[in-house]
Structure 1
């Protein structure tokens, strides 16, 4: 029995020494290897251009040679050019009413060809007195710039889900979500000090 204990003890010591030597080798190898550094340089600037004629009609037959881009008076090389022409459909109106016809049927027969918009209304920083201005700007954008084939969502910076509106093409639902916006922000002390400063100028 004592001989068995001795052999087991020697085996444990040998195993511990082996693990210790391997750990030292791994630590030394890691210290000798230089850190991996990735370097990447990208010189790419995307410029959006909307070209219309004298009647505000979109011109869609332009090519790369029709454009020149300057920076500080120097002509820049244009390496890529692509035409983006998304048809904007307008909601239909009846002959006897100015109200839009709200579709009651959705179809996926043709692929989505519209645009995606997200309106993020900052109800945390907007003061209650500025609430009407935010609503008016959001409603104007929805009514003037969003087509019937676009999808739009309305979210609030506070994270409220009871008043937000997911992606939809229904203008009425979007306007109802905007109507629920109320600024909750208080006037900051910095703005108050600015007012005091300018009063004494």
Structure 2
């Protein structure tokens, strides 16, 4: 019976009325349609564990590509895409598990990093900015003391050359402070990176 339904769909015989229509549609969506074709032609389906891995990987690839396209096509989310370029758990969310005492502050940092780039008025200094997140973290004069304390702590934490490299990033510095892992910081010791994030979050 299964063979009949699979063959019926492949031959496009009343396909939409087939009991397997939705199943096959999903297989096509995730680029898995070659497997039922192979089953019909060669009477072969992968073992359950292998098939499960193939399906999971295909779905992950499809969903991540769709997610990336959606972000890349929205200018207001360019920064978020640089901070969190893959469809997986945010690295700061993982950090909250290791450091529950800093959970609230780290979640605020996640929210700032995922906020769209938009014009707004700062509620602290009443100045208008075309990028309110950048203004709050890098520019607001009312927060100058707190900002300097944060930056000095980061400088003291980092190796000298790495500190120089990071603070020469210009616009990319904000993304690093919001947890982006770019070519400059990818090789940081995870413990050093974690402490740097705590300084920013606090």
The TM-score normalised by the length of structure 1 is 0.21
Which protein is richer in helix relative to its size? 2
Length-normalised TM-score, structure 2: 0.21
In terms of fraction of residues, the more strand-rich structure is 1
